[in-house]
Amino acid sequence: MLILLVEDEPLILMDVESALIDAGFEVIAASNGEDAVGWIERRGAEIRAVLTDIRLGGRLSGWDVGRHARQTVPTMPVVYVSGDSAGDWTSQGVPSSVMIQKPFAFAQIISAVSLLMNQSDQIGHAPSA
């Protein structure tokens, strides 16, 4: 299961990437929103979830990454992570996403990604009316 991880802080990126790999996920790591959008464009059909920081230091924010992911794959699970932008989640985040505040435990990340992926699978495989 391929996860797109977007984080501009190298140490956090490495730690979260390691935790995701230890949990059995494959990870594509992007250090800014522009790279993340490129990965979504190239491999959106393979990516099972997006885990993104909000403030990425470039032109695109994590909010932008989440919206682009959902435009590309409408059922894409999106987990946002932020130290200071959680208050904007209801107005900026995509529907049925999860916000996790920094500092976080890796178990929170793994649980949120897994939960949203399971929900997405149920939606994607629901019988049509």
- Residue-level pLDDT at 126: 39
Phi-psi category of residue 96: left, alpha or beta, with phi > 0 → left and psi -120 to 50 → alpha: left
State pTM to two decimals.
0.91
- Residue-level pLDDT at 43: 97
- State the Cα–Cα distance between residues 81 and 11, nearest whole angstrom: 15
Which residue type sits at 94?
A: V
Pairing of β 2-6 and β 47-53: parallel
- Residue-level pLDDT at 92: 94
Candidates 53, 51, 94, 55; CA nearest to 75 is 94
- State the Cα–Cα distance between residues 107 and 61, nearest whole angstrom: 24
- Residue-level pLDDT at 128: 38
- Residue-level pLDDT at 86: 80
Cα 29 to Cα 18, 62, 125, distances in angstroms: 11, 14, 28
pLDDT of the chain, 129 residues: tens digit per residue: 999 999 999 999 999 999 999 999 999 999 999 999 999 999 999 999 999 999 998 899 999 999 999 999 999 999 999 988 888 999 999 999 999 999 999 999 999 999 999 988 777 643 333
CATH number of this structure's domain 2-124: 3.40.50.2300
What are the sequence ranges of the domains in the chain?
Answer: 2-124
- State the Cα–Cα distance between residues 35 and 30, nearest whole angstrom: 6
Q: Which residue stretches of 1-129 are H helix?
A: 10-22, 33-43, 62-72, 89-92, 106-124
- Residue-level pLDDT at 75: 93
